[in-house]
Amino acid sequence: MKKVEMNPYMLIKGRISEILNLTPDVKLFKVRIDGIKDYLPGQFFMVSLWGAGEVPISVTSLPSDVLEFCIKKVGRVTGEIHNLEVGQYIYIRGPYGNGFPTDIANKRGILMIAGGIGISPLRPLIEWLIKYPKGRQIIFFYGSKTPKEILFLDDIERWRRNGIGVHLTVDMADKKWNGPVGLVTELLKSVNLNFEDAISYICGPPVMIKATVKELLSFSMPEERIVTTLEAHMKCGIGKCGHCYEGSKYICIDGPIFTYKEIVDYALSL
């Protein structure tokens, strides 16, 4: 019989070892899986349930036997994933995409700016930077709609203890909240940093990314050191289905991480 070659669309089965309910519509799935060991912060996987379909989801853990996916219930597939329980199976393929560039971060001040579930791809990058500190100044800005929707609060406290400057803000405060209220871009103004020599990693909803980039440019941060993620509809993850191309770039294989300079040069839309 003819040998059937590897099929890149074929899924690998993983067992859900733990589910954390982070907010009413965001869950963290820990998936025990064999055979996927190497991936980078910023890369994504196609996560799938048979009968529902596939969705691209950023990995939110550093490489280990357990992959972590932070999934917000926004549609049909993510809705069905949310119905899964510990011990059940989930199917994935990947990793895909380019991941965050870390070589340009050497010895520079680092700004991490997240909005909402945009913290998810930044989380492994922060963990990576803590693991390999190299004496960098790291500041983390995080905007959420409400205090209840702040994800990974335990991790954030640990990051704070590890010397990361943490600045949280919310759109709408509750009784217990005594931190700032407003957009994450407002927080940037208060920080004491040489923006011209720093690097920034941004992830969040498009409107937040746009506002943040504008702010950073006004502080003279060079375009090639503003790094962000782009979001797109995807069906394949490997540059074939055609849904995510912008110009001659495919978000799935050339991205999803781009510097602002690349976004301008390739005429990508933020």
Partner 1 sequence: MKPTELILYKDHLSYWLRQLRKERELIGPLRGEETDIVFKSVENIHDIVLDLPAILPTVKEFLFPQYEPMFKYLMTDEVVDLRDNTKRVIFGVRSCDVTALTLLDKFFLDGYKDPFYEERRNETVLISIVCGRPEPECFCAGLNTGPYLEKGFDVQLTDLGDRFFVQVGSPKGHSAVMRFSFLFRKPYKADYEDQYEVFLSSKATSQKRISLEGARQLILSGKVKDDFWRMISDKCFECGGCVYQCPLCTCFTVTDRVFGDIIERVRLWDACLFKGFTRLAGGILPNEERYLRTKRWFYHKLIYYPDALNGFGCVGCGRCTIACPTKIDMASVITRLKVTAGSEG
Q: How far apart are CA 240 and CA 111, in angstroms?
A: 34
| Residue placing its CB nearer to partner 1 in the complex, 177 or 266 | 266
| Binders of partner 1 in range 140-179 (CB under 8 A) | none
Helix (H, G, I), strand (E, B) or coil at 168: strand
Question: Do 92 and 45 form a contact (C-beta atoms < 8 A)?
Answer: yes
Q: Cβ contacts of residue 267 below 8 Å, gap of 6+?
A: 246, 247
Binders in 206-225 for partner 1, by CB under 8 A: 206
State the pairing for strand pair 226-229/199-203.
parallel
Count the site residues for partner 1 by CB under 8 A: 39
With CB under 8 A as the contact rule, the residue among 20, 183, 191, 232 that binds partner 1 is: 232
**Which of the ranges 16-24, 68-76, 140-148, 257-265 carries the binding residues for partner 1, by CB under 8 A?**
68-76
Length, in residues, of the chain: 270
Q: What ranges in 1-146 are assigned the alpha helix state H?
A: 76-82, 119-131
Residue 52 lies near partner 1 (rule: CB under 8 A):
yes
Is residue 245 part of the contact set for partner 1 (CB under 8 A)? yes
Secondary structure of residue 184 in the 3-state scheme:
helix
d(CA 91, CA 50): 8
Choices 28-36, 100-108, 149-157, 245-253 (CB under 8 A): range interacting with partner 1: 245-253
Which of 153, 182, 247, 264 binds partner 1 (CB under 8 A)? It is: 247
At a CB cut-off of 8 Å and minimum separation 6, what does 161 contact?
Answer: none
The nearer residue to partner 1, 227 or 268, going by C-beta atoms, is 268
Any contact of residue 98 with partner 1 (CB under 8 A)?
A: no
Instruction: Give me the residues that bind partner 1 (CB under 8 A), please.
Output: 2, 4-11, 13, 50-55, 72, 74-75, 78, 89, 206, 231-233, 235-236, 238-245, 247-248, 253, 269
